[in-house]
Amino acid sequence: MIKVTGQSVQQGIAIGKIMIREKRPIQIMPEKTDAVDKEWEMFLYARKRAVNEVRRMEQVAKEKVGDKKAMIFSVYAMLLEEPDFEEAVRQKIKAEHYNASYAVYLAGKEKENFFANIRDNAYLNERSVDLRDIADRVIREIQHIRDEIVLPDEPVILVADDLTPAELVALDVTKILAIVLINGSVNSHTSIIAKSMEIPMLVNTDMILSDAYDKRGIVDGVEGVFLIDPDQETVNRLTDAKNAYEAGQKELEQMIGKAAVTKSGRSIKVYANIGNIEDARRAGLYEAEGIGLFRSEFLYLNGTDFPSEETQFEHYRTVASIMQDKEVIIRTMDICADKQAEYVRLASEDNPAMGLRAIRFCFTRPEVFKTQLRAIYRASAYGNLGIMFPMITSEEEVDRILSILKEVREELQSQNVQIGALKVGIMIETPAAVLISDELAKKVDFFSIGTNDLTQYTLAMDRQNAELKEFQNIHHKSIMKMIEMTVQNAHKNHIEAGICGELAADEELTDYFIGLGVDSLSVPPFEILPLRKHIRSLP
């Protein structure tokens, strides 16, 4: 049995067969190009990523199998950075005008043959296989190969290097018992989706993929461990733990229909964060008091083009009708950065989290933006809807949004399309928005504090990067002060302020949030009942 540790994203215990995500074959085409500088840059960037990956594997292997066996990864890194190899690729791109993938393929092949043909040196002959592997790694990086996942009928524990949000939403969750990622971080959007799907999940694990081939395993999301090839005694013990965990979950169902009120009568609304209709059904089942954040972009990451007005309208109307007269806040698409859809073709960005994403993207694609606004306005006739806008940094942005909203509303009215009263809010998830929250509050009906991005931008620490875990203090005083300032400015201007980032579910802070007067906490559906139970236990 091999014990792997990781960070738990979602609790729960799963026992079953392991499936390792297989990689798609790379494409090797001997095409010539004049864009030699671009191809060269692509090679350098891809090689950097490949080196980082083998260095990471070296670290894991050192801890797991010792320095000697880990040597292979340091040889990989050396080969990748070797000047002869680089020169060969440079030659093939700059002088022979081959595309980056083909140039790496040719350079790798030459080296592979060289090593294979060294006489009487078995050690160096073996390095030819390594050469093939490292060239493949670089080509995969160049081609951004995202491997499609085909799940078998029997549900499995899915193990992968990483998963993008688009890949995860494409999966049939009934066929997944749990997910284990070698990379990934707790606050990434992939993790957020897994939470809302209630799939036990570990990220940032110290495992080596090949250990798990053809094995059964146990994911213990409570303890944050993954056991590969467990013995019978461990299976029995974890089966008991699984049953106990599930019984505890069942008991939580007593919280359905109970008010989120402390013993002394202080109350706060418990809302749900959702990404699709299935989540909305779960929120309905647990009797969430509303939907505080509908991440609309999750519906559309997987298509071949932006969704039509009609498709969007149907989704929003369905969610509104599931929640009946309860509030449903739809966030306009926060696309790009880590939420890439294949059909959105943007120039590559050095810092996508600070790039053309969310509201900025919508401003540059007015027809896409207006289509979504029309759909939301139309759905507002069928429920108690609110709309909110992500990544706001200035009053000008809000003015621009309000003028576009007016235009869309008047257009619909002139076409005699029925619309309802739509509350208009913004996300407070940049330090800039916090600092001008007094001014912003005068322009909108509510605030929703996105602590995930607010933390990332305040601490200047990438929420995707698991390596930063030791530096990230999610209870940092600066974040608490920002939340306090935002709530005070909202209330001073007679509007509500809720929290919809992951911090909303952090039970260590619930009492503090209630004390601040936060109006609502919006959490993934599975957190609703535990949070309600916790609130009811507070003095």
Interface positions with ligand PEP (CB under 6 A) = 192, 293, 295, 334, 429, 450-453, 500-501
CB of 422 to ligand PEP, least distance (A): 20
The position carrying tokens 């009215």 is 413
Q: Which residues bind Mg ion (CB under 5 A)?
A: 429, 450, 453
Reduced to 3 states (helix: H, G, I; strand: E, B; else coil), residue 155 is coil
Cα separation of 294 and 285, whole Å?
16
The position carrying tokens 């298509």 is 303
Residue 46 vs 497, nearer CB to ligand PEP: 497
Which listed option, Mg ion, ligand PEP, none, makes contact with residue 185 (CB within 5 to 8 Å by class)?
none
| Token code pair at residue 476 | 């940092």
By C-alpha distance, which of 488, 498, 395, 409 is closest to 449?
Answer: 498
Residue 453 vs 496, nearer CB to Mg ion: 453
> In terms of DSSP H, where are the helices of 266-329?
277-285, 309-323
Residue 335 vs 436, nearer CB to ligand PEP: 335
CB of 281 to ligand PEP, least distance (A): 20
Reduced to 3 states (helix: H, G, I; strand: E, B; else coil), residue 290 is strand
Which listed option, Mg ion, ligand PEP, none, makes contact with residue 297 (CB within 5 to 8 Å by class)?
none
CB of 456 to Mg ion, least distance (A): 8
CB of 57 to ligand PEP, least distance (A): 29
| Token code pair at residue 81 | 């950075």
Residue 18 vs 336, nearer CB to ligand PEP: 336
Residue 268 vs 293, nearer CB to Mg ion: 293
Q: How far is CA 395 from CA 169, 435, 436, 444, in A?
A: 34, 11, 8, 11
CB of 463 to Mg ion, least distance (A): 9
By C-alpha distance, which of 388, 480, 399 is closest to 434?
Answer: 480
Cα separation of 369 and 374, whole Å?
9
Cα separation of 262 and 283, whole Å?
21
Residue 385 vs 500, nearer CB to ligand PEP: 500
Cα separation of 494 and 366, whole Å?
31
- For the annotated catalytic residues, the residue numbers are 189, 500
> In terms of DSSP H, where are the helices of 152-231?
165-170, 189-196
Long-range contact set of residues 260-267: C-beta below 8 Å, sequence gap at least 24:
260/289, 260/531, 260/532, 260/535, 260/536, 261/535, 261/536, 262/514, 262/535, 262/536, 262/538, 262/539, 263/536, 263/537, 263/538, 263/539, 264/539, 266/514, 266/538, 267/514
Which listed option, Mg ion, ligand PEP, none, makes contact with residue 500 (CB within 5 to 8 Å by class)?
ligand PEP
Cα separation of 203 and 186, whole Å?
7
Residue 254 vs 473, nearer CB to ligand PEP: 473
Q: 100-116 vs 36-65: helix axis angle to the nearest 10?
A: 50
Residue 141 vs 453, nearer CB to ligand PEP: 453
C-beta nearest to Mg ion: residue: 453
Amino acid letter, residue 406? K
Which listed option, Mg ion, ligand PEP, none, makes contact with residue 293 (CB within 5 to 8 Å by class)?
ligand PEP
CB of 394 to ligand PEP, least distance (A): 18
CB of 192 to ligand PEP, least distance (A): 6
Q: How far is CA 342 from CA 130, 306, 365, in A?
A: 32, 10, 16
Our CA dihedral for 430, 434, 440, 446, rounded to 10 degrees, sits at 90
CB of 528 to ligand PEP, least distance (A): 16
Which listed option, Mg ion, ligand PEP, none, makes contact with residue 295 (CB within 5 to 8 Å by class)?
ligand PEP
Residue 142 vs 193, nearer CB to ligand PEP: 193
Which listed option, Mg ion, ligand PEP, none, makes contact with residue 317 (CB within 5 to 8 Å by class)?
none
290 pairs with which residues across the strands?
327
Element (H, E) at 270: strand 269-274
Cα separation of 92 and 94, whole Å?
6
CB of 431 to ligand PEP, least distance (A): 13
Reduced to 3 states (helix: H, G, I; strand: E, B; else coil), residue 377 is helix
